[in-house]
Structure 1
Amino acid sequence: MACFRMSPRNSWIYPTVILCLFGFFSMMRPSEPFLIPYLSEPNKNLTSTEITNKILPVWTYSYLVLLLPVFVLTDYVRYKPVIILQGISFIITWLLLLFGRGVMAMQAVEFFYGMVTATEVAYYAYIYSVVSLEHYQRVSSYCRSITLVSYTIASVLGQVLVSLSNVSYFYLNVISMISVSLAFICSLFLPMPKKSMFFHAKPSKEIKESPHTDAILKEAPKDDTPGCKEKNLTLETRSVTSGNQDDGQDSRPRNVALEVFVQWFQDLKECYSSKRLFYWSLWWAFSTAGYNQVLNYVQILWDFKKPSQDSSVYNGAVEAIATFGGAVAAFAVGYVKVNWDLVGELALAVFSAVSAGSLFVMRYTVDIWVCYAGYLIFKSSYMLLITIAVFQIAVNLSVERYALVFGINTFIALVIQTVMTVIVVDQRGLNLEINIQFLVYGSYFAVIAGVFLMRSLYIIYWAKCRNQEVQSPATMKNPGKARPEEPSNDNILSTKF
């Protein structure tokens, strides 16, 4: 047994490897790009109307209902049980896909897939509870990269099997079933964390002795935005103060859950009081809602443009190229040196307009290849922008506050998506045909682009006026006179354009 023991310095390697294996197998689903053709086969005998209006909306509703309870439960039970629950949900989803028949069985599929997506938070939060601070960035990149690589490989594999070997969609789902079962087995080998970000934070004694706490407080970037001056103060650091108070005379029983919820409310109030963070979060929520809606129904559009029962399907190749293109675009963001404070919202406006244009092209074209190309542009644009948005939001937040903001932004996106589904898709709403739906989605992104274009123009105009004020002739004539509010390098009023 001694050969399996690792020093504390290398203790992050084992859980990282297991978590990456879980991520790889859980995303190795070659059947996913071919879901709609599979459900449309005579074996399932579901119509396009039933799939669009009765089955697919269940995922949105279940995801919305489950997200907040799962978010709280994930931290309370310390991640691993929820990752195991995700593995079980995967297995149930694919068992129903393989052997279920009828609308109700497929609605159950969408419900359990909603459970799968709601529990994804545990996968990304788990690593922060078992590795030390200096490994956060590296391990996060491993976990996120492995899922993109796996999804790309799965899409290519599915396309090759369908196009070259004429494998049926049923056996693609068998492969997916085997893969998610392996993911479930991997989840059982994850070590159980001793702490979590909120309900089971580090004891105060452990924090005092941690060499990273002082480094966090010393190196945390300053933000003079009103309402966020203290946002770099982590929950763990606050536990030191509370731990010192507990050592005193105050021995009253503590309601940990109530304290956590109160702290969440205070943290959110402080973070969203920053206009910069608020507008980036606003774009995140609205764009993610539209993105999820497009992804949920794009296969219906493809099947409408070129029915899968009468022609070859290249959905897997398109998904692989789109994912790879999005990953490249997201990777390239790290090497772009611009003043995001100044032109960030202009980028949101421009690429949101590109997304709107690609959706309009997808709606009006009769050529399936042009429709595929529009989807490639749309997905790559979103992945590029969401990477920028995540960075801009997370750059000055502690891990705890970032997780909280991420959860709330995702929940708001789901609320917007649910409203959109009820109005546009659901048979109790407008029940629009798929072509008209994509006209609505294109218009939706056009409105987002218009709003952020107006705001970005205002920001650039305001910054330019401020720059002219700083460099006014009066200031040049009186160099000894105090200059009004010298702009800082980190501020949006930076004189470097």
Structure 2
Amino acid sequence: MEGFWCRLRSLLTQSRSVSSSVLAVLLIYSFSSQFLPIEPYLVPYLTSVKHFTNFQVTVDIYPCSIYAQLIFTLVMAPACFYLSYKLVIVLGAFALLITYLIIWGGQSLLSMQIMQITYGFGMAARLVFSSYIFLLVPEEEYQIMTSLTTTTSLLSFMLASELSQLLAIEKASYATFFILSLISLGICCAVTILLPKDCSSSPLYPSLTAFWSQDEGWLRILKETWDGKNIQILSLWWALAYAGFSLVQNYGTSLFDAIDSKSNLNGHILAVSQAAGSLGSLGAVYLELFAIKSGMFIYVLGSALMAIVCACMGFSMKIWVAYLMYVMISGIYQTLACLVSVRCSRLLSNRQFILLFSVNNFAGLLVETLLQAALEILGLSVSAQFISFAGFFFLTTAIFAVCCFIGNGDGDGGSKIVSLASEGETEPLISESL
């Protein structure tokens, strides 16, 4: 841990890349945007207090956010390009605040569907923050900044889950859950105003008129962003791993209930999985150089491990095995997610980070949607679903094992980070305005 803390102290004390006040704002945003004690109890609240049926919640309300997030994720890049990263982050924070205000005060089915649309926008806007931090710091600090903000978010979710479990045991009213969540989101909205301004916006009219131009416009930007075999392969892994892990998260509690419907540890296990994810995101700092030197191998290994974990969950049907495997896959995925997002960002030549994040996550959401539709059509049991997830990750492993051998040499920027410490720092595209 000594190496990590030395790098962390260096980041906190050196103001050449990011000031301590800006770092504090980033971490407060990461924490407050995820500290939502009402989240684990939204379904019981909607059914017991708002008197919606479980069928209405699962069929008429929740799917709206899935489709909304899919659309908003795709438009995040143009929104940042025409407006600014900061403005979109601010709008996303206020969208989440409005979401929970609607839940608390709304009564009709239509209001809940509108709430899901604002939630989808807020979730999509979080992608902007993930890419925005790369505008703040020089390239050699991408990994530690990603690990810090990701760890803060995951720990926040863990603490909120444990607090909500404690409040539920004490039979606190839902108003308490909402007040705590709204205070957290209010802080989140306030700190977004303090974020530094970015210099990424461009005039609207020229960009629109040049859309189909070969020399300028979106076609050129798209081509530049994924210019290189390595970034294309890594982006594909990013999308597939995102889709597979999201399905594991979506159906994890269903598997726990199918194995042991009387177990009351689900909330704690979800919290522990977030802790494992936070440790994994910190571990990415240590694995960064190994990931660069190994090329695709670490992602092939990670896919294989996630496949084995899913197979164990599907075949064993023992609650403690399911709990342990769920925690393990959270740690594995968060480690690799931190590594692959930073690696892809290093390979960018045009610094269009939000375009990279939005398109890769859109592709992941699209794959997830298609896989979920296939599961519904096939009507598989929850254990069979996890076996199918294992098959998906094994297929991903095979695809990238082939890519690893074909593309042996991973040369576009692979050794770049090794010499970054001795080179001049990249000038950030941010004007610190705190």
Secondary structure of 1:27 counterpart: coil
- The answer on whether the counterparts of 1:46 and 1:102 sit within 8 Å (CA) in structure 2 is no
Is residue 21 of structure 2 the alignment partner of residue 70 of structure 1?
Answer: no
- The answer on whether the counterparts of 2:69 and 2:120 sit within 8 Å (CA) in structure 1 is yes
Q: Distance in 2 between matches of 1:257 and 1:198?
A: 13
Q: What is the match of residue 220 of structure 2?
A: 266
For residue 194 of structure 2, what is the amino acid of its counterpart? Answer: L
Offset of residue 282 of structure 1:
0.8
Offset of residue 362 of structure 1:
3.0
Q: Distance in 1 between matches of 2:278 and 2:132?
A: 23
For residue 307 of structure 2, what is the amino acid of its counterpart? Answer: A
- The answer on whether the counterparts of 2:150 and 2:281 sit within 8 Å (CA) in structure 1 is no
Mind listing any 5+ residue stretches in structure 1 that lack a counterpart?
1-7, 201-253, 464-487, 492-497
Q: Distance in 2 between matches of 1:84 and 1:270?
A: 28
Distance 1:9 1:452, change over 3 A: closer
For residue 392 of structure 2, what is the amino acid of its counterpart? Answer: Y
1:18-68 CA-to-partner distances (Å, cap 9, x unmatched) read 343333222111232444555565764533x55444443322211111122
Q: What is the match of residue 98 of structure 2?
A: 92
1:308-333 CA-to-partner distances (Å, cap 9, x unmatched) read xxx46333322322122122223223
Q: Distance in 2 between matches of 1:59 and 1:368?
A: 30
Distance 1:35 1:447, change over 3 A: farther
Q: Distance in 1 between matches of 2:189 and 2:51?
A: 27
Q: Distance in 2 between matches of 1:433 and 1:99?
A: 37
For residue 186 of structure 1, what is the amino acid of its counterpart? Answer: V
Q: What is the match of residue 346 of structure 1?
A: 297
Is residue 128 of structure 2 the alignment partner of residue 122 of structure 1?
Answer: yes
Is residue 84 of structure 2 the alignment partner of residue 81 of structure 1?
Answer: no
Is residue 180 of structure 2 the alignment partner of residue 175 of structure 1?
Answer: yes
- The answer on whether the counterparts of 1:34 and 1:316 sit within 8 Å (CA) in structure 2 is no
Q: Distance in 1 between matches of 2:41 and 2:18?
A: 40
For residue 372 of structure 2, what is the amino acid of its counterpart? Answer: T
- The answer on whether the counterparts of 1:22 and 1:186 sit within 8 Å (CA) in structure 2 is yes
For residue 359 of structure 1, what is the amino acid of its counterpart? Answer: C
- The answer on whether the counterparts of 2:22 and 2:196 sit within 8 Å (CA) in structure 1 is no
Secondary structure of 1:177 counterpart: helix
Is residue 215 of structure 2 the alignment partner of residue 199 of structure 1?
Answer: no
Offset of residue 117 of structure 1:
1.0
Q: What is the match of residue 247 of structure 2?
A: 293
Task: State percent identity of aligned pairs.
Answer: 25
Is residue 24 of structure 2 the alignment partner of residue 21 of structure 1?
Answer: no
Distance 1:432 1:125, change over 3 A: same
Tell me which structure has the larger Cα radius of gyration. 1
Q: Give TM-score scaled by structure 1 length.
A: 0.67
Q: What is the match of residue 185 of structure 1?
A: 190
Q: Distance in 1 between matches of 2:175 and 2:230?
A: 48
- The answer on whether the counterparts of 1:63 and 1:114 sit within 8 Å (CA) in structure 2 is yes
Q: How does 1:49-60 map to 2 (within 5 A)?
A: 50-60=56-66
Q: Distance in 1 between matches of 2:65 and 2:315?
A: 27
1:324-377 CA-to-partner distances (Å, cap 9, x unmatched) read 212222322332476646744333233212222322333344443332222111
Offset of residue 278 of structure 1:
1.5
Is residue 393 of structure 2 the alignment partner of residue 442 of structure 1?
Answer: no
Offset of residue 423 of structure 1:
3.2
Secondary structure of 2:127 counterpart: helix
What is the RMSD computed on CA atoms of the aligned residues? 3.8
- The answer on whether the counterparts of 1:360 and 1:439 sit within 8 Å (CA) in structure 2 is yes
Q: What is the match of residue 30 of structure 1?
A: 37
For residue 31 of structure 2, what is the amino acid of its counterpart? Answer: F
Q: Distance in 1 between matches of 2:175 and 2:369?
A: 30
Q: Distance in 1 between matches of 2:200 and 2:297?
A: 35
Offset of residue 388 of structure 1:
2.5
Q: How does 1:80-479 map to 2 (within 5 A)?
A: 80-100=86-106, 105-126=111-132, 131=136, 133=138, 137=142, 142-163=148-169, 165-167=170-172, 171-187=176-192, 189-190=193-194, 193=197, 195-199=198-202, 255-258=206-209, 262-307=216-261, 311=262, 313-336=264-287, 340=291, 343-398=294-349, 400-425=351-376, 429-430=377-378, 434-456=382-404
Mind listing any 5+ residue stretches in structure 2 that lack a counterpart?
1-14, 417-434
Q: Distance in 1 between matches of 2:319 and 2:41?
A: 15
Offset of residue 449 of structure 1:
1.8
Distance 1:50 1:269, change over 3 A: same
Q: Distance in 1 between matches of 2:111 and 2:414?
A: 58
Q: RCO higher in 1 or 2 (8 Å CA, sep ≥ 6)?
A: 2
Count of aligned pairs:
396
- The answer on whether the counterparts of 1:199 and 1:260 sit within 8 Å (CA) in structure 2 is no
For residue 97 of structure 1, what is the amino acid of its counterpart? Answer: I
For residue 361 of structure 2, what is the amino acid of its counterpart? Answer: T
- The answer on whether the counterparts of 1:37 and 1:303 sit within 8 Å (CA) in structure 2 is no
The structure with more helix, counted as a fraction of residues = 2
Q: Distance in 1 between matches of 2:93 and 2:281?
A: 28
Offset of residue 446 of structure 1:
2.2
- The answer on whether the counterparts of 2:152 and 2:278 sit within 8 Å (CA) in structure 1 is no
For residue 180 of structure 1, what is the amino acid of its counterpart? Answer: L
Secondary structure of 1:199 counterpart: coil
